[in-house]
Amino acid sequence: MRLQLISAEQIPELLPMREAAEAIKGAFAALSAGEVVAPHRMHLPAKGSEDCALLMGALVPGGAFATKIVSIFHSNAHRDLPVVTGLVTILDPETGVPAGLCDGGPLTAWRTGATSGAATDLLALPDARIGAVFGSGAQARTQLLAIDAVRELEQIRVYGPEVESVAAMIEELSDRARAELTTAADSAAAVEGADVICTATSSSVPVFDGALLKPGAHVNAIGTYTLDRRELDVETVGRARVFVDLVEAALEEAGELVHAAAEGVTSSADWTEIGDVAAGRAAGRRDPTEITVFKTVGHAVQDAVTAALLLDAARRTGAAREIEL
């Protein structure tokens, strides 16, 4: 068996963020149309902690076929190890034979960034100028690059509790982003006046005050995927039209939305799947003052489509390293 190996460093080169965001739009359109084969992901908790492993897979029309195992160990932050690690196996859709392997941690960050890029492109104001990113980890980095790729932002503010980590992120990305990158003194300074906001944290409490959101703001909430964690407060959800990757998944894993629904400020009947917006089956933003929230808990369709494009690009350019098992 011969496998093509795709490393973390190759991902941005093989699949530019704007291209990845367009692919994610199509993937979610197929998902919402019921065209994707994807069993619900398996959750394997690590004994006695919040750390876990997730197993998932998807077959997408057009030939994207992949499985992923990803470990999310928040405790790794204290070990100087990545919080998210994993492997994506790309399968031949005709034979089922494994054809490629990709570093799952960086791929997860890249496709999640691309997902917010897709949502931002579909929902944010066309003339958005100010961005804000909460967090300073791998996911926050790709969130920043994604909103920078789909909007002509003048400034992106970064806020996180670890000042040194925020500074390192800004230094690392300053040459890759078109917008000016700045450090926000606090959460209020990050949000006030921002047109596009991304939250990429594992917080169990809201990271900003929703009363500070300007009319017309768009929010991408990507950091949490359990009911006991929420990056957004009830005020934010109550003021916004809500968009999700999949309503069924949001009801099981989107703590922000389930909590707000329990408070009576939103209902799953009012949530719109982003794939329906991408396909033109549902309306996106309806007016310039509307606040929009996109909440994603992640889906295997993102991994499958992203991995398939990476493998195609690696084969086309000869960039992949081949091994034989």
Distance (Å, rounded) from C-alpha 146 to C-alpha 133? 11
In which band, very low, low, confident or very high, does the pLDDT at 46 lie, cut at 50, 70 and 90?
Answer: confident
Chain position carrying tokens 């690590």: 46
Distance (Å, rounded) from C-alpha 64 to C-alpha 210? 38
pTM passes above 0.85: yes
pLDDT value, residue 115? 98
Adjacent-strand bridge partners of 203: none
Domains located in the chain, CATH noted? 2-108+300-324 (3.30.1780.10), 125-295 (3.40.50.720)
Among 25-29, 153-157, 225-229, the minimum mean pLDDT is found in: 225-229
Q: Which CA distances in Å does 216 have to 23, 95, 222, 268?
A: 26, 48, 20, 22
Q: What is the DSSP string of 21-67?
A: HHHHHHHHHHHHTT--B-PPPEEEEPTTSS-EEEEEEEEETTTEEEE
Q: Count of CB atoms within 10 A of residue 152's CB? A: 11
Distance (Å, rounded) from C-alpha 94 to C-alpha 313? 19
In which band, very low, low, confident or very high, does the pLDDT at 320 lie, cut at 50, 70 and 90?
Answer: confident
Q: Is the pLDDT of residue 78 over 90?
A: no
Q: Which two tokens stand for residue 265?
A: 């400020």
- DSSP class of residue 78 equals G
Q: Is the pLDDT of residue 222 over 90?
A: yes
Distance (Å, rounded) from C-alpha 15 to C-alpha 290? 32
Cβ atoms of 63 and 93 closer than 8 Å? yes
Distance (Å, rounded) from C-alpha 276 to C-alpha 60? 16
Judge residue 269's burial from the number of C-beta atoms within 10 Å of its C-beta, 0-12 exposed, 13-18 middle, 19 or more buried: exposed
Give the CA count within 13 Å in the CB-facing half-sphere of 3: 17
Distance (Å, rounded) from C-alpha 294 to C-alpha 284? 11
Residues in contact with 208: Cβ distance below 8 Å, sequence separation at least 6, in sequence order? 134, 187, 188, 190, 191, 197, 199, 233, 236
pLDDT value, residue 146? 98
pLDDT value, residue 47? 74
Q: What is the mean pLDDT of residues 96-103?
A: 96
pLDDT value, residue 171? 98
Cβ atoms of 89 and 68 closer than 8 Å? yes
Among 11-20, 39-48, 67-76, 212-221, the minimum mean pLDDT is found in: 39-48
Distance (Å, rounded) from C-alpha 49 to C-alpha 67? 25
Going by C-alpha positions, the residue among 192, 191, 180 that lies closest to residue 134 is 191
Q: Which residue has the higher pLDDT, 154 or 52?
A: 154
Q: What is the DSSP string of 286-316?
A: -STT-EEEEE----HHHHHHHHHHHHHHHHH
pLDDT value, residue 325? 86
pLDDT value, residue 50? 80
